Amino acid sequence: MSHVVLLGDSIFDNGSYVRHGEPDVIAQVRALLPRDWKATLCAVDGAATRDVERQLKHVPADASYLVVSAGGNDGLLNLGIMRQGARSVAEAMEKLSAVREDFADSYRGMVDAVMMPRLPVALCTIYNACFPDPQEQRLVLTGLAILNDVITREAFARRLPLIDLRLICDQPDDYANPIEPSAKGGEKIAAVIAQVAVGTTLLPRSQVFAR
């Protein structure tokens, strides 16, 4: 029996945010996997990248596939930097570079830990969120682009599947609030997780060529 385990943050642990009676992501993944497969939620709402290593201690012994969505809360922790003033573009870029370097160290260490069990692993980008204030949304997208560059580079360098949540949750009603997936968004996320884990795809996929 195959067993998919979800690690990371509230992108997967969204039960507190969907409407009463609506399924969360883990329930939707279970419904979409083949009948003899299992799925377990180890992701924790509010977790940052550095917290994922602790979640690995709770991964079931019979796990066969790990899917990780982490980094969004790291972005939230640095949101204040995006609102700071700067005397020049160079000064602003220097601040953003420091955020990127710190996140890269944290994310790289997390992926190292997730790959230690030598199981198949898929990573997720951080989705775009859906803030009602257009200016705040623009700042968030700019900041997340820096973090997502780290995620995509790690996935491609390690030849890991990458689930690009920016292209999956692309409608306002995919979000229960500015930063959490709704049941509709969760269903879209779950559908791709099931396809990646099972090894089936409904549509042609992009390929990335790296050394």
DSSP string, 122-140: EEEPPP----SSHHHHHHH
Assign 6 a pLDDT band (cuts: 50, 70, 90): very high
Q: Is the pLDDT of residue 196 over 70?
A: yes
Residue 208: what pLDDT?
Answer: 87
For residues 194, 168, 7, 40, the Cα torsion angle rounded to the nearest 10 degrees is -30
Q: Is the pLDDT of residue 18 over 70?
A: yes
d(CA 131, CA 72): 14
pLDDT, one tens digit per residue, over 101-113 is: 999 999 999 999 9
- In the chain, count H helices and then E strands: 8, 7
Assign 143 a pLDDT band (cuts: 50, 70, 90): confident
Domains and CATH numbers, the chain: 3-198 (3.40.50.1110)
Q: What is the pTM of this model?
A: 0.93
Q: Name 39's bridge partners.
A: 4
Task: Give CA separation, 98 vs 157, 204, 209, in Å.
Answer: 22, 37, 28
